[in-house]
Structure 1
Amino acid sequence: MADNFNFELVSPERLLLSEKVSEVVIPATEGEMTVMAHHAPTMTTIKPGVVSVKLASGQVTKYVVFGGFADIVPTGCTLLAESAVALSELNRDTLTKRIEAARAELNAVEGHEHKTRLEQYLAELTHLNGVLVPA
């Protein structure tokens, strides 16, 4: 049996989860990352995607995050999301509004670096929309 560790998922609006868990899969910017107890200290940015949390009880819960960063230490992991919602609460309208807002911001931006980041964010949101909320 895997050791458990503390995991917190926090967004500016609220604390979504604070539990003992055995495993967390996070959508790190460089690719999916599985965090378990005794993980090496790491800090990573998060891209829009799904966070899969295996609770100490064995139950798996999923959340959708829209960017942020994770702080991982051997005894725990804290994911500070720019915005997050339980997967069960996600709907097409929510993602469509985020995609439209990202497109509007992209059309108004002038700096190349900011434009590149927005294009990547828009691509990730569009992919997420196709995967999570089928037509």
Structure 2
Amino acid sequence: MATFQLELVSPERLLLARQVEMATIPAVEGEMGVLPGHSPMIVALRGGVIRVRENGAESERLFVAGGFAEVAPDRCTVLADEVTPVASLSRAEAERRLAEAEAAMAGITGEDPAERRDAALARVLSMRAMRDAAEAA
């Protein structure tokens, strides 16, 4: 089966770099499957799970809190804000972080710029996705 290079990079380090058959990434527009020969593009990521397929089966699931992905015919590079293997997610920790994000969003007054509200809402949605992924693990 054809493969492409998948690279997952966090602010701290390169987390994954290997040949895979397929990756499903949580693009802002919706779940996006990446296969060898994919059209080039750059997409924003929302909080969600990256699913990696190797040897005909799902081999890995990683939660990303957001970021960007650059897709090319022979590679996909994910630049993620935060990465956690789904198996390592804690529902309690996700609930705590969601509560913090919701409190921060509630604390924004109507006089604050829209960008702050948008960023706070994105964080709340990301933490909800983390909680949902922790529940499913």
TM-score by length of 2: 0.84
Q: Which moved more, 1:12-21 or 1:75-84?
A: 12-21
The answer as to 2:135 corresponding to 1:133 is: yes
Letter in 1 for 2:85: A
Structure 1 pair 89/128, CA: closer, same or farther in 2 (3 Å)? Answer: closer
Q: Which moved more, 1:28-37 or 1:119-128?
A: 119-128
- For residues 72 and 129 of structure 2, the distance between their equivalents in structure 1, rounded to whole angstroms, comes to 30
Q: Deviations over 1:26-81 (max 9, x none)?
A: 00000000001111111000000000001257452100000000011111000010
| Matched-pair contact (CA < 8 Å) for 2:66–2:126 | no
Letter in 1 for 2:7: E
- For residues 93 and 16 of structure 1, the distance between their equivalents in structure 2, rounded to whole angstroms, comes to 25
- For residues 54 and 71 of structure 1, the distance between their equivalents in structure 2, rounded to whole angstroms, comes to 18
Which position in structure 2 is the counterpart of 1:32?
31
Gap runs ≥5 in structure 1: none
Secondary structure of the corresponding residue to residue 93 of structure 1: helix
Q: Which moved more, 1:111-120 or 1:66-75?
A: 111-120
Which position in structure 2 is the counterpart of 1:115?
117
TM-score by length of 1: 0.85
- For residues 130 and 56 of structure 1, the distance between their equivalents in structure 2, rounded to whole angstroms, comes to 27
Q: Which moved more, 1:121-130 or 1:59-68?
A: 121-130
- For residues 111 and 73 of structure 1, the distance between their equivalents in structure 2, rounded to whole angstroms, comes to 36
Aligned residues with identical type, % of pairs: 32
Q: Deviations over 1:73-126 (max 9, x none)?
A: 111000010001111111113312321332243244422232033224313422
Gap runs ≥5 in structure 2: none
Q: Which moved more, 1:11-20 or 1:104-113?
A: 104-113
Q: Which moved more, 1:54-63 or 1:34-43?
A: 54-63
| Matched-pair contact (CA < 8 Å) for 1:29–1:47 | yes
- For residues 104 and 13 of structure 1, the distance between their equivalents in structure 2, rounded to whole angstroms, comes to 27
| Matched-pair contact (CA < 8 Å) for 1:4–1:56 | no
| Matched-pair contact (CA < 8 Å) for 1:62–1:87 | yes
Count of aligned positions: 133
Structure 1 pair 49/8, CA: closer, same or farther in 2 (3 Å)? Answer: same
Which position in structure 2 is the counterpart of 1:71?
70
